[in-house]
A and B are shown apart, each in its own frame.
Chain A
Amino acid sequence: MARAVTTRRKTINTALAWAIGLLIFFPILWTILTSFKTEGQAIADPPIFFFFDWTLENYAIVQERSNYMRFLWNSVIIAIGSTLLGVAIAIPAAWSMAFVPSKRTKDILLWMLSTKMLPAVGVLYPIYLIFIELGLLDSRAGLVIVLMLINLPIIVWMLYTYFKEIPGEILEAARMDGASLRSEILYVLTPMAIPGIASTVLLNVILAWNEAFWTLNLTAVNAAPLTAFIASYSSPEGLFYAKLSAASTMAIAPILILGWFSQKQLVRGLTFGAVK
């Protein structure tokens, strides 16, 4: 009897999980479906689900009108560049907080995280001015720096939690074995924290890839990534849903594929290492 209840419960849980999953995934699915419709079918009322004339026309037009590869390349450089730069800065910071904590370490961690609670637009003006001064507007270097800075608190936090799991004695052993601080971090800490670092990198590549506030506000042509590519299709002269959807699909496809193949690391990253 007890067993029957559990089975039933399991079925309900599974159904519920799928329902929630589909609900969350629906906008993406709808975008992908719309990208294969004609503009007319895209705005049809009632909406058409599967039985429309599948077409690749939108993709062809989008490809023709704008240079997708250039946007993609910018996205790749900005997302990966900002993440790697952030990780390189965060590893020593997280090392010191995890292994030589001071009285204020916890406060510093919280303070760093608190910067994430500030609305980005609050600092748009000063950053914009600084960028003009430094000539960083519409440059990939500028975006790499800004996205690195806004994600740095998360990177430090994540690495800190992963580093905390590494027994301090092993690092002390490295010190006794004659390792300098650099060797200790390079040859002992980092290899041991590789799973955690991988999760951190993945999550932050995705965050940087999807970042749309700074990438839209600080770029025009040269450094514009895929977010700008999508935005360029929601023009004031009238909305072309099918083309916008095609552009969106092209923009999210690389990161969707990356996410699909690295689900395990990603889940670990999102739960801050609570799931192994």
Chain B
Amino acid sequence: MGRIVLEQVSKSFGDTEVIPPLDLAIEDGEFAVFVGPSGCGKSTLLRLIAGLEDTSGGRILIDGEDATAVPPAKRGLAMVFQSYALYPHMTVRKNIAFPMRMAGIDRAEQDRRIEKAAAALNLTDYLHRRPGQLSGGQRQRVAIGRAIVREPAAFLFDEPLSNLDAALRVGMRLEISELHKRLDTTMIYVTHDQVEAMTMADKIVVLRAGVIEQVGSPLELYKTPRNTFVAGFIGSPKMNLIEGPEAQRHGAHTIGIRPEHIAVSAEGGPWSGVVGVSEHLGSDTFFHIHDTGLGDMITVRADGEVGFRHGDRVSLTPRMDVLHKFDANGLRIA
């Protein structure tokens, strides 16, 4: 069980309010991702849930019980830190055993759970090593192992993959997702990487300056961003946001169109521009188009086969049925 509810939770450091009062519910078994630019308060929010920071106001309920004043050791949550935070003086086995030792679980049961976790995380051969003798990915697995053996109500992940290299990150992303499917336990995951958020989450919570901008499933956020911030933050490459006469023509202050919803051709579309930088990913090519008369540069996603060159004049055709419209306050109109 692990239903976590925040009621009017706020946090100030001195006179600086980093999180104005907010409400949020994370259902049992859900994979929730807090995402936002650095300094948006997502890690602080996680630490409030963990109990590593005291709230300045509001209540935190874990499975219906008020946990606001409960110390972190007693909340029944497990946390995986960005730096892994393994105990350097203990072997992998002892690291994983530590939370069970604290909980007073008997040795036989400890060993049983360690063997199980080690087998699941490919750590069986490394149990006698110390963290210093492991690679980054292995350390991450130990940290996860230490979290799962205590069978927590929920897992908290604080940017767990940001110290890993790109290839390893993709692998670990999958492993964590699989772990979630297998354990079916609530997970709260903090990241600044919207790709991680999109690929892993059941529910994404987009934060900016301590304020929740939108809560929803990855596709909800992708298809119906509530405002220009979410529109620009979710999706890679970023959504094109266009202001001025072209937007007014569609009855909006700002219109948004995703790079994959613009077709590029030699001629024939309503918009035109000059090809700047092209990013070739093989399967896809991203063209950055200048001099469109729409304001900023426009990014277009095209098939990898499409071969325009730097300086070519091209024509752009946006799909009008997936056009996003926002008012002067940046809020979605349609």
Contact = CB atoms under 8 A, between A and B. Distances in A.
Contacts of A178: 73-74, 99, 102-103, 150
Contacts of A188: 87
Given A177-B146, A178-B150, A179-B73, A172 B85 contact: yes
A254 interface: no
B262 to A, nearest CB: 44
B79 interface: yes
Interface in B134-169: 146, 150, 156
A175 interface: yes
Main SS at interface, chain A: helix
A133 interface: no
Contact of A183 (B74, B77, B102, B146): B102
Contact of A167 (B77, B83, B150): B83
Contacts of B71: 175
Interface string B291-302: 000000000000
B81 interface: yes
Q: Indicate the size class of the contact surface on chain B.
A: 20 to 34
A177 B79 CA distance: 8
Contacts of B146: 173, 177
A167 B89 contact: no
A170 B86 CA distance: 6
B333 interface: no
Given A172-B81, A178-B99, A191 B89 contact: yes
A173 B157 CA distance: 12
A180 interface: yes
B83 A176 contact: no
A107 interface: no
What interface size band does chain A fall in?
Answer: 10 to 19
Interface string A174-207: 1111111001000110011010000000000000
B50 A176 contact: yes
B100 to A, nearest CB: 9
A167 B81 CA distance: 12
30 contacts: A167-B83, A169-B81, A169-B85, A172-B52, A172-B72, A172-B79, A172-B81, A172-B85, A173-B81, A173-B85, A173-B86, A173-B87, A173-B146, A176-B72, A176-B73, A176-B77, A176-B78, A176-B79, A176-B156, A177-B99, A177-B102, A177-B150, A178-B99, A179-B98, A180-B73, A180-B102, A183-B102, A187-B98, A192-B89, A194-B89
